[in-house]
Structure 1
Amino acid sequence: MGRVSNNLVGILNFLTLLLSIPILIAGIWLSRQADTDCERWLEKPVIAFGVFLLLVSLAGLIGACCRVTWLLWLYLVVMFCLIVVVFAFTIFTFVVTNKGAGQTLSNRGYKEYKLGDYSNWLQKRVDNTKTWNRIQSCLQSGKLCSKFKDQFLQDNVEKFYTENLSALQSGCCKPADVCNFTYVSPTEWTKPPSNGTYANSDCDLWNNDPNVLCFNCQSCKAGFLQNIKSDWKKVAIVNIVFLIFLIIVYSIGCCAFRNNRADNWKRY
């Protein structure tokens, strides 16, 4: 079993070593080809992950195949820390995404979203002005509402109300239903007299300017959090599978480490 465990660790780390190469290439490509801040934001995490995977794979590969005990020990320590981090992040993901859901509206095909329905931790992050300005810039550079307008441009008001809009489209590209604005086009609405203030503060923030719309609304932030929630739920499921894989590799690595130590004792 000893030699088998060493061979398995070597094979698994050789595969992850091969995987790290395209990840590094993708990170470098992003750093040179990115046109927006949103795309540039991805380059550093991708490159860092690629370098991390490369170094850990090399440590596991050399430690198992060349019987370098201290290097295999270092590999196991890193693997253990990674298991703890992935486990903690998975639990954290489920906790912070437990709250929040769209509100179903009568005679509407879409839902609307309220910021207060989501976890306090997520609310604080998205309510930070500096953070939201970056997110807003990404949504605008991604032409979220331009595509939304083109997609539903031919709709009359009755047809528009039956559309199944995404959380971001519902929160950022149109006013809230409670505002009772008059439909002109998907991104153009006529405001009725407000008599001072609207019942919803988002109604005051709405503007037909394509660069404004409802990007500063609470509903837009809520739509973004709903999108994050859906993505994080998927990530959490992937993390569970990844965690099981890490535990299996770690267990095999422990066998290989014991085998290395036994061989070292025999030499002396």
Structure 2
Amino acid sequence: MGLSNNITATLNFIAILASIPIIVAGTWLASKPDNECIHSFRWPVVILGILILLVSLTGFVGSYWNKQGLLAFYLFCMAVLITLLLILLVLSFIVTRPDGSYPVPGRGYKEYRLEGFSSWLRNHVTDSGRWGKIRTCLSESNVCIKLTQDYITADQFFMSRISPLQSGCCKPPTACGYNYVNPILWMNPANQMADPDCYLWNNDQSQLCYNCNACKAGLLGNLRNEWRKANVILIVAVVVLIWVYVIACSAFKNAQTEDLFRRYKQGWV
């Protein structure tokens, strides 16, 4: 039984280590400008990572000091957290699968169509009830102002690989034919009827294209790219956690069997 508990303690230490990348990935996601403006997308991964850390610590204490009640509690809670993490992974893969980007001739960056993303993302991020607050948050950030510091000439800007959020919110659609002055100042559209967003562009730095469908699509493009990067870390972490959990269950069962046999033997003697 002591050997089984030592194995479980070691496995819980591995689970503690596995929770750290989850917390780091969640913190990275939460620090992004788009997630700062979408509170419901900001903290789920961080919260799950912290809960896994706490539950793993509980399992470590229970196995190290042979507290069977704590071990049973650990196994139940870890099963719930692994299930929640798997649900989050599956949901994120499904809703981020459609890619609304399309290449623009003569440009290093891509542009984005709102209808190219999943309806779930569109409904939960860009509906009229939520977009007002998100728009205000984006306009108060330095997402677009930063472009004026990074790019000076038109050629530099046109060949750049700016983020989807910057592509959609900080400049008018290329089809409008606006003339470049600087990354957030554009004049005299040649084809203003090419896209409804052409009429919504405004050189006022508090407005720019924050009211455009292109901006909503760029936000979804940013979310898609960031979550798909984070998913790689989450997949590795969840595989490790499942492996740890399966072995921990086996060790717990063996410890219970050995304890039962020991009690039976003491009663027989």
TM-score range, shorter chain: 0.7 to 0.9
Deviation at 1:192, TM superposition (A): 4.2
User: CA, structure 1 residues 236+214, in 2 after alignment: closer, same or farther (shift >3 Å)?
Assistant: same
Identical counterparts, % of pairs: 38
* Residue type of the alignment partner of 1:166: S
User: CA, structure 1 residues 264+39, in 2 after alignment: closer, same or farther (shift >3 Å)?
Assistant: farther
User: CA, structure 1 residues 229+20, in 2 after alignment: closer, same or farther (shift >3 Å)?
Assistant: closer
Structure 2 unaligned blocks of 5 or more: 24-34, 265-269
Structure 1 partner of 2:114: 115
Q: Find the residue that maps to 1:121 and give its secondary structure.
A: helix
Rounded to whole Å, the distance in 1 between the matches of 2:164 and 2:42 is 27
Q: Does 1:226 align with 2:221?
A: yes
* Residue type of the alignment partner of 2:153: D
Structure 2 partner of 1:89: 88
Q: Work out whether residues 38 and 125 of structure 2, in 8 Å CA contact, stay in contact via their aligned partners in 1.
A: no
Deviation at 1:252, TM superposition (A): 2.0
Q: Cα deviations across residues 121-169 of structure 1 (Å, max 9, x unaligned)?
A: 01112222343334334433430111112222x214x553333322122
Rounded to whole Å, the distance in 2 between the matches of 1:94 and 1:44 is 18
Rounded to whole Å, the distance in 2 between the matches of 1:164 and 1:240 is 28
Structure 2 partner of 1:71: 70
Rounded to whole Å, the distance in 2 between the matches of 1:71 and 1:159 is 60
Residue pairs, 1:117-266, within 5 angstroms: 117-152=116-151, 154-156=152-154, 158-192=155-189, 198-265=193-260, 266=262
Q: Find the residue that maps to 2:122 and give its secondary structure.
A: helix
User: CA, structure 1 residues 123+206, in 2 after alignment: closer, same or farther (shift >3 Å)?
Assistant: same
Count matched residues. Answer: 251
Structure 1 partner of 2:102: 103
Q: Which moved more, 1:170-179 or 1:250-259?
A: 250-259
* Residue type of the alignment partner of 1:112: E
Q: Work out whether residues 68 and 260 of structure 1, in 8 Å CA contact, stay in contact via their aligned partners in 2.
A: no
Deviation at 1:40, TM superposition (A): 11
Deviation at 1:254, TM superposition (A): 0.9
* Residue type of the alignment partner of 2:184: T
Rounded to whole Å, the distance in 2 between the matches of 1:128 and 1:74 is 41
Rounded to whole Å, the distance in 1 between the matches of 2:240 and 2:165 is 34
Rounded to whole Å, the distance in 1 between the matches of 2:68 and 2:127 is 48
Q: What is the root-mean-square deviation in Å for CA atoms of aligned residues?
A: 3.3
1:267 to 247, 257, 263: 263
User: CA, structure 1 residues 94+209, in 2 after alignment: closer, same or farther (shift >3 Å)?
Assistant: same
